[in-house]
Structure 1
Amino acid sequence: MADVSGRRRSRGVSTTVGYILNLTVALLLVTSLLAAAGTFVGDQRERAIADGLQVSGTQLAGALESVDRLAATGDDARLVVSLPPSVAGRNYRIQVRERSLVLTTENPAVRVVVEFQTDADVATKTVSGGRVVVALDAGANRLEVFATDE
């Protein structure tokens, strides 16, 4: 549109376009910050779960090694271990292997391996977190881990 002097008037359009551009840039910045914060929180949750699994695994590995030492002295070899039923709000499973424990969660999928040393063989089994018993099966000369409500 031209005024009486012949100049074009476009100020109204440039103000609106500038406002929309500023709003778009602000929206992109906020969205980027929220996405980065969400990733950070997810990573922190996985680290917390891994740390909790490591602690539980270390406790159970220590119990296995203690029962193994007790069995070598001929004493009654049985120990109740109170592990947390969940870590960071997630249930977990413990797969007992010959020389290691594999602790896992789902959603997020976290896996921690804790190794231990025993003279006696260890029965392979999977148990959930919570109270477990580590005992020597004297007839088979092997350590067993099983869940308990004691």
Structure 2
Amino acid sequence: MGDDRGAATALGYVLNITVALLLVTGLLIAVTDYVDRQRQDAVRGQLAVVSDRLVADLAAADRLAGTADAGGVTVRSDAPARVVGRTYTIRVSHADGVTRVRLAAPSENVVVTRTLHTDRDVVNATVTGGDVEITTRGAAGDGLRVVSDD
């Protein structure tokens, strides 16, 4: 009869290491998903703040253009070039008196959209994130333009 005591000890160690490896792997997967969700939430929150500020500046430029002389209006909207270390784009579109401001961070698959009603048309534009200028040129009836302030 052979001695099986050594095999039982080795098998016990292998099983313990396997269970520990499975637990650590599961923990790493859960933590990675949690961190990704937190990063997306942080990007969404910062884009919401930037979009709210841009919409307020567009509304201010629209009001100023209605009261300004023929020289035009320029409103500077300060915004970070990156949110949570990620680049983003600003897309402004206008249809039927409604202006839509869409900020997107494609690397995180996050999009934030805001709308506002303007008296003036807004020229459709897409610019990279960061400081922008909202301008009218010439008569106050000209449309508002959003341009990068690089």
Please say whether Structure 1 and Structure 2 have the same fold, judged by a TM-score greater than 0.5: yes
- Whichever residue aligns with residue 110 of structure 2, its letter is V
After TM superposition, give the deviation of residue 136 of structure 1 in Å: 2.2
Q: Structure 2 length as normaliser, TM-score?
A: 0.87
Where does residue 29 of structure 1 map in the other structure?
A: 23
Larger RCO (alpha carbons 8 Å, 6+ apart):
2
Where does residue 142 of structure 1 map in the other structure?
A: 143
Partner Cα separation in structure 1 for residue 136 and residue 57 of structure 2: 12
Q: Structure 1 length as normaliser, TM-score?
A: 0.87
Moved more, 117-126 or 101-110: 101-110
After TM superposition, give the deviation of residue 106 of structure 1 in Å: 2.3
CA RMSD of aligned residues (A): 1.6
- Whichever residue aligns with residue 32 of structure 2, its letter is G
Partner Cα separation in structure 1 for residue 61 and residue 108 of structure 2: 33
The structure 1 segments of at least 4 consecutive aligned residues displaced by more than 4 Å after TM superposition are: none
Mapping of 1:21-100 within 5 angstroms?
21-74=15-68, 76-98=72-94, 99-100=99-100
- Answer with 1 or 2: which has the greater Rg: 1
Consecutive unaligned residues of structure 1, counting only runs of 5 or more, are 3-8
Partner Cα separation in structure 1 for residue 86 and residue 42 of structure 2: 11
Where does residue 5 of structure 1 map in the other structure?
A: none
Tell me the secondary structure at the aligned position of residue 17 of structure 2.
Answer: helix
Tell me the secondary structure at the aligned position of residue 107 of structure 1.
Answer: helix
Partner Cα separation in structure 1 for residue 18 and residue 149 of structure 2: 59
